[in-house]
Chains A and B, each alone.
Chain A
Amino acid sequence: KQEVTQIPAALSVPEGENLVLNCSFTDSAIYNLQWFRQDPGKGLTSLLLIQSSQREQTSGRLNASLDKSSGRSTLYIAASQPGDSATYLCAVTPSNQFYFGTGTSLTVIP
């Protein structure tokens, strides 16, 4: 069964810093990998989706990379802002399923 791990579990940074969140998965046979953010008491917001044939995707201050062979993805957030504070989840799709990591709780301090 696919296992997805996210490190660190929690992260606190001062506003303006660049930061990297990590996601690793055990089975490289995936169709795609997605990054989501979740605000307290809310559902998830899709941030970036990387197809298995791609190596990275960018949206604004966010950049996600995918290395299927090593089972790793990173989410890079540039010039962090207090509004970026949330829990960030990665999910991989091997077939008709999603497997989620346990998330990284990010706090950006003004």
Chain B
Amino acid sequence: GAGVSQSPSNKVTEKGKDVELRCDPISGHTALYWYRQSLGQGLEFLIYFQGNSAPDKSGLPSDRFSAERTGGSVSTLTIQRTQQEDSAVYLCASSRMATGLNQPQHFGDGTRLSIL
């Protein structure tokens, strides 16, 4: 498709399990961004990739969170040993090469993660 694709659209899992969220950016977009949106916290920036490299990982909430991108395309966000506070909508966006994060971003519809 022409837009940013995220999968799964919904994920329900038990506390303590690991989950992997996937993002397919728009073809040709070199920058990719992950965000988390939860009721109590609003929209939170997690990490962005320029190509396969993430210049700043300090936005990740804890060491249970990791993200990778290979081949300059698909990215996965992995949450290990999930906790109930990880429940949120995880949004992915992509843009053309972003210097100073100054390019318009195109968003996917998100993955709604629920931790029981």
Contacts and interface: CB of A to CB of B under 8 A. Distances in A.
A70 B107 CA distance: 30
Interface in B28-56: 33, 35, 42-45, 48, 55-56
Contacts of A101: 42
Contacts, number: 59
Contacts of B106: 46
Nearest to B4: A43
Interface residues of A, number: 23
A93 B101 contact: yes
B71 interface: no
Size bracket, chain B contacts? 20 to 34
Contact of A44 (B59, B100, B103, B107): B107
B8 to A, nearest CB: 15
A31 B100 contact: yes
B88 to A, nearest CB: 14
A17 B110 CA distance: 32
A96 interface: yes
Given A32-B100, A44-B105, A89 B43 contact: yes
B25 interface: no
A20 to B, nearest CB: 21
A98 B104 contact: no
B43 A45 contact: no
Given A49-B102, A49-B104, A100 B44 contact: yes
B26 interface: no
Given A31-B100, A43-B4, A100-B44, A95 B56 contact: yes
A51 interface: yes
B102 A100 contact: no
Interface of A: 31-32, 34, 41-46, 49, 51, 89, 91, 93, 95-103
4 closest A-B pairs by CB: A43-B107, A96-B56, A98-B45, A46-B104
